[in-house]
Amino acid sequence: MKILLTGGGTGGHINPAIAIAQYVKANDKNAKILYAGTPNGMEARLVKKAGFDFVPINVKGLSRSLAPKDILHNISAVYTVIRSKSRAKAILKEFKPDIVIGTGGYVCGPIVLQATKMGIKTAIHEQNAFPGVTNRLLAKKVDMVFLAVEEAKKHLDSTIKYQVVGNPVRESVIYKSKAEAKKELGLDDRMCILSFGGSLGADTLNKIAADIIEWHYKQGLVNHIHGYGRLGKEKFPNLLKEREIDLKRNDSIHVHEFIDNMDTCMAAADLLICRAGAITISEIEATGKPAILVPSPNVTANHQFHNAMVLKAKSAALLLEEKDYTKETVVNMVKELYNNPSKLDELSKNASKLAIMDTTKRIYDAMVGMLK
């Protein structure tokens, strides 16, 4: 089996493709796998690090801004799109894949579209409840659409052939027990809150974390791990100072710029407070973690809100939109969960019911079926 994978822009598009490649290789030693992505994108580094062959194709996304620099960017982007058609054709002719799979991002557009024109089997994987622009366009062309959640189907053409397969989740997140994780982190049996806003950080998540720390700080009610991200390096200490919080007086609060051992911290957590990216949602489901989801309003098509609504509708998570955030609101949400362990248990059980644990197997089996 020869498989060409393509996708890029964010880890949410790249990591599922790598997970698919790893499963294929584990089950078919003779499989040949090639990954096509932008030469300067995150995918170039991550794919090579994972040990798979990488071929560059230069494609740029369009900016919606009319600022002079963005107009120039769009002119350049249109030029790369035109050139990418011949580049995609050359890659496909040279590698001769049996199947092409796109996992999202503008880079997969030219490759997948050209493959459909050449009669090669094609599929795409959509990680979010609201499909991205590229996948919405490709869905009508490909042989199979893999969806993370059923809810995404209503935003796509009614004639598509699809399967709900979930999102790949890291094994290290799934298999570590809470007791093992707490021991590893040196935490006691008190409730553990894990809050984070991604590697860059998020102002609202940092404010929320500071508000919650202010609530439990003096009484030492909980263990709290918070990642404030690169953008919070200067701002977060000031938020604590404004609330007269001295972390030296409470060793159950652990604050970091980056959380390098996220799998361990997630395993130890009794409550997550975080964004609603596709992979985060899938990890919440796979681990059965109660969560307060604060979707980013700054993402394309507000897709994090749609992701969060999938869990909220099933009573599997609480939702707090940034526009509704106040200190009193978020602290009361946490207080209610702290005082009602049964509510935490209900959220956990409902999140677990949504988990799909065999995503890569489902995709692999579907690919084999398509080629037969």
Q: Do residues 204 and 325 touch, judged by C-beta distance below 8 A?
A: yes
Tokens of 229: 């991200």
3-19 pLDDT, tens digit per residue, is 999 998 888 899 999 99
292-310 pLDDT, tens digit per residue, is 999 999 887 899 999 999 9
pLDDT band at 60 (very low <50, low <70, confident <90, very high): low
pLDDT band at 74 (very low <50, low <70, confident <90, very high): very low
Q: Provide the percentage of residues in the chain whose pLDDT is more than 70.
A: 94
Q: Which of 158, 120, 159, 138 is CA-nearest to residue 13?
A: 138
| Segment 348-355 mean pLDDT | 98
Helix ranges (H only) for 161-268 are 171-174, 178-185, 203-216, 235-242, 262-268
pLDDT band at 126 (very low <50, low <70, confident <90, very high): very high
| Res 228 pLDDT > 70 | yes
Q: Do residues 197 and 275 touch, judged by C-beta distance below 8 A?
A: yes
As a whole number of angstroms, the distance between CA 181 and CA 264 comes to 5
| Res 61 pLDDT > 70 | no
| Res 157 pLDDT > 50 | yes
0.95 surpassed by pTM: no
